[in-house]
Amino acid sequence: MSARLHLSAVLRHLLLIVFCVFTVIPLAYVVSLSFRYFRDIIAGSFVSPLTLSNYADLFQSNFLRLLLNSLVTAAETTVISVLNGALAAYALARFVWPAPWRNGVMGWMLFVRMLPPIIFVGPLYLLARNIGIYNSPLGVMLGHVVIDLPFATLLLLNFFADVPKELEEAAAIDRASNATIFFRVALPITWSGIAATGMLAFVVSWNEFLYALVLTSTPRFRQLRSSSLRNATSSKGSP
Amino acid sequence: MGLKHLHEMLADPVIPAAGLNTLYFVLFVVPVETFLGLALAIVASKTHRGSRLYRTLLMLPALLPGVAIGAIWRLMYDYNMGLIDQVLALFHISGPTWLADPHLALPAIMMVDIWHWTAFLFLIFLAGVEGLPAETSGAARVDGANEFQIIAHIWLPALWPTILTGVMLRLIDAVRVFEEIYLMTSGGPETSTQVASLYIYQVYFTQFRTGYGGFWALILALILSIFVVFYLLMNNRQLREANR
């Protein structure tokens, strides 16, 4: 019995280790590439001198500028989505709506969130061209808001629904307005939920590629597509 | 106007390829990811020593952006500097040019998707497994059930809603696949890795057929909305049952 148990433990660890290796090897390989000279990699030698020159090249290119663009876009998207999402979520969670309205709005937001982003690419592109924000950070940011706003609203809805109603009722008895209740009672209580939502919204915008690709035209993206080594380490391409 | 696009569709040789590839892709990748994710989640939940390290490593790919994964695997598959062909070369095997071979390109991309998204299902299923009550499996063990019986007859039925949710999410999301293919093959060689999202993108932005692209975006939306509505109804029923 104990021998069999022992065997199964060995099998379990073996399975997990095999899969961890499978998961880690591509990442480790790319990291190792980033420290080696191109000629050594092409030669297929596994033991070769290490270098930081790839990183020097990276920072001499406009990588930092691109990084800053990504950060700013993601930050703006997060702020807009979470602010508007919080207002929408609070309204949906607390005010009295006719059931079809409420379910309709929530169902539509879920629906938009689940469809692939390629479906909205055409209209967004034409819209951006027509109102003159094509190829600008503003356009990409608005594109990301399309994805992030329903996402943030739906997440925040759960957090606001968990706020005890009694607290808000107590504030209402003290003649607090709806705005005061929202900013002074509901927001402070759900603060951790809002922070978590903000982080996730940031990551969604940071990882998003298609809208940034479609709503800009500068050749920055072509750098990303070339198979040069640099791109292994700067694999994030944003406006 | 719609009729015009129907004519264009019938004359378009890429459509059958893109449709079939998307179908093959989804039908192969989702079951494999589900099976692997579930197996790893069950095994990981039963393993205590080193479990934190295992979990961290196994969920790593789910955190990376698709662009990064496309770039990484493009290097991995490269004939000259890719790890796979370099290792094969050590054994004096001349490896294939994975992404340039019409028969290998789609499987190679499926492999990347499995690498990426098994991690996501692993996380979902792990949460489900950890949420199972210990009492039922304890009771079954007292009654003389072995580990496999406990997993097959107690865990799997209890996990069923979680599994269904995970599979539906992946079915809907697998159709999104874009960045990886865009970076690795751009749909080639010929049309061997052409899929729905990528083809719509190309119709819009390399063929400049805006109306036709919109037509296909609409058709894709209609097909997917069947799944999305099914998923929403299923979730709704689960919520109501949970509340009762």
Q: How large is the ipTM?
A: 0.84
Question: Is B39 a residue whose pLDDT tops 60?
Answer: yes
User: What is the count of residue pairs from A and B with beta carbons less than 8 Å apart?
Assistant: 143
**pLDDT score of A81 more than 50:** yes
From the list B75, B178, B179, the residue facing A33 with the nearest CB is: B75
| A15 or A1, higher pLDDT | A15
Residue range B163-212, pLDDT digits in tens: 998 998 899 889 989 989 999 998 878 888 999 999 999 998 888 888 88
pLDDT for A233 beyond 90: no
More confident residue, B148 or B38: B38
Is B43 close to A12, i.e. CB distance below 8 A?
Answer: yes
* pLDDT value of residue B113: 95
Task: Give the closest-approach CA distance of A224 to chain B in angstroms.
Answer: 8
Among B59-68, B85-94, B160-169, the minimum mean pLDDT is found in B85-94
Summarised one tens digit per residue, pLDDT across range A184-196 is 888 998 999 999 9
Contact A116/B201, CB-based, under 8 Å?
A: no
List the single best residue of A235, A236, A238 to mutate versus B (max B Cβ within 10 A).
Answer: A235
Q: Judging by beta carbons within 10 Å of its beta carbon (0-12, 13-18, 19+), is residue B224 exposed, middle or buried?
A: buried
A chain contacts of residue B115, beta-carbon cutoff 8 Å: 22-23, 26
Q: Which pLDDT band, with edges at 50, 70 and 90, does A226 fall under?
A: very low
In this predicted structure, the answer to whether residue B138 has a pLDDT above a threshold of 90 is no
- In this prediction, residue A4 carries a pLDDT of 55
Q: Which residue in the set A16, A22, A235 is minimally distant from B71, CB to CB?
A: A235
CB contact under 8 A, A25 and B231: no
Domain boundaries B2-243, corresponding CATH code: 1.10.3720.10
| pLDDT score of A234 more than 50 | no
- Which residue did the predictor score with more confidence, B28 or B147? B28
B80, A225: Cβ pair inside 8 Å?
A: no
> Which of B35, B232, B162 minimizes the C-alpha distance to A110?
B232
Place of tokens 């759900």: A190
How much is the pLDDT for B227? 86
Whether the Cβ atoms of residue A209 and residue B179 lie closer than 8 Å to each other: yes
CB contact under 8 A, B225 and A111: yes
Q: How far is CA A146 from the centre of its chain?
A: 13
In percent, the amount of chain B with pLDDT more than 70 equals 96
In this structure, of A1-15, A64-78, B179-193, B202-216, the range with the lowest mean pLDDT score is A1-15
- pLDDT over 60 at A225, yes or no: no
Q: Cβ–Cβ of A44/B221 closer than 8 Å?
A: no
Yes or no, beta carbons of A44 and B89 under 8 Å apart: yes
Q: How confident is the model at residue A83 (pLDDT cuts 50, 70, 90)?
A: very high
